[in-house]
Amino acid sequence: MSETNSSYPFASARVKAMEPRLITKEKLNRLIEAKDYDAAMRQLAEFGYGQSAGSGAGCSYEELIRKELTETDALLEALSPSDVFTRIMRAERDYFNLKVLIKLLMQNRPLDSFALLPGNIPVETLRRAISENNYYDLPDAMKEALQYIDRQFTVAADASIIGIALDRAYAKEVNALLQKMKNPLVSTYFTAFFDISNIIALLRVRAAGLPKESYERVITHGGGIDKRTLLDAFELPDESVLAAVARGRYYDVLAPAFEDYVKTGSLYMMEKARDDYLLSLLKEQRHDMFGIGPLMGYYIAKQREAAAVRLVMTAKLGGVDMDVAVRRLKELY
């Protein structure tokens, strides 16, 4: 579908009709307060989670999440104003899938031992590319990253290279697509994502005791913060970093989470602050019937909802302490 403003009111109306099915903060609290895993599964059934795409009876919570996200992908494809927008929104999953597949390969585990949802590229295409070491059917940015990883691993098997190379390739692919789409909201969203991710990466590399040259290799392009500003901040003491790289709205958004990082050394609250800020950008456009905001907001909201359900249900099974899970929960739409 070619991008046209005339398609926005229809898409926005469809999304508006779907919003009541979203898991709200109140519903999530009920899920948290359920006495055990079985009670929580009954709550999900009561919410209708994973039910509309077929019966959820007898399904695991992961299967319910998969049903919801598959349905959301279909909605995106049906309502998207352009193929470019669809590709932008799904690209992150392609790179997540690659990271999982490479990890399975390194562990000598079957590449089909982990259920993956497709992004823009069929999962089987990615599996075949990784197993056969043949990347020529993949997008250029992805192909170049995988070839780089192969070359580096002939020198030293450093697993961190995988994440760095694929994150940079993801940024390169998304930025190329953003240039084609030229939508202010979508560009603002991803500029903020890359900016704050670069700030978080700066803190992570410093905490690992690695040199500035290592950080320079990690910086992803597409943000609004100048690369020189980021590199200069690398030399500053912790308490001065944020003021040097994050001015205005970024500073206000990140300051409380940065204080938590200085105290605890954990970057999780910084990541939470980033993702909550990104969602707030979409919430501001939630009622714009003539823009892409409602559709983009709903798509991101469903990904956030899935992550929240997974975190709570993992805690119900004892995989993580519930108090820790609750603290890690990010804002819902």
Task: Give CA 133 to chain center in angstroms.
Answer: 26
95 contacts: CB under 8 Å, gap ≥ 6? 119, 142, 166, 167, 169, 170
Residue 100 has pLDDT above 50, yes or no: yes
**What dotted CATH number matches 183-288?**
1.20.1690
pTM (predicted TM-score): 0.91
SS (HEC) of 236-254 = CCHHHHHHHHCCCHHHHHH
**How much is the average pLDDT of 1-30?**
84
Both structure tokens of 192: 């903020």
244-268: per-residue pLDDT in tens?
Answer: 998 778 999 999 999 999 999 999 9
85 falls in which pLDDT band (50, 70, 90)? Answer: very high
Residue 102 has pLDDT above 90, yes or no: yes
221-246: per-residue pLDDT in tens?
Answer: 999 999 999 999 999 988 889 999 98
Question: pLDDT at position 247, please?
Answer: 78
**Residue 159: helix, strand or coil by DSSP?**
coil
Residue 4 has pLDDT above 60, yes or no: no
Q: How far apart are CA 128 and CA 124, in angstroms?
A: 6
**How much is the average pLDDT of 298-324?**
92
Phi-psi region of 265 (alpha: psi -120 to 50; beta: other; left: phi over 0): left
Where are the chain's structural domains?
13-78+292-333, 82-180, 183-288
- One-letter amino acid of 185: L
Question: pLDDT at position 226, please?
Answer: 92
Residue 27 exposure: Cα atoms within 13 Å on the Cβ side: 19
**How much is the average pLDDT of 26-30?**
95
**How much is the average pLDDT of 287-305?**
95
Residue 53 has pLDDT above 60, yes or no: no
Q: Which CATH superfamily is domain 82-180 in?
A: V-type ATP synthase subunit C domain (1.20.1690.10)
Residue 109 has pLDDT above 80, yes or no: yes
C-alpha radius of gyration, the chain, whole number:
20
59 falls in which pLDDT band (50, 70, 90)? Answer: confident
Both structure tokens of 121: 């590229």
**How much is the average pLDDT of 111-137?**
93
Domains 82-180 and 183-288 share a fold: yes
56 falls in which pLDDT band (50, 70, 90)? Answer: low
Mean pLDDT, the chain, whole residue set: 91
137-162: per-residue pLDDT in tens?
Answer: 999 999 999 999 988 877 666 777 88
Question: pLDDT at position 155, please?
Answer: 65
Pick the CATH number of 13-78+292-333 from 1.25.40, 1.10.132, 2.30.29, 3.40.50: 1.10.132
Question: pLDDT at position 55, please?
Answer: 54
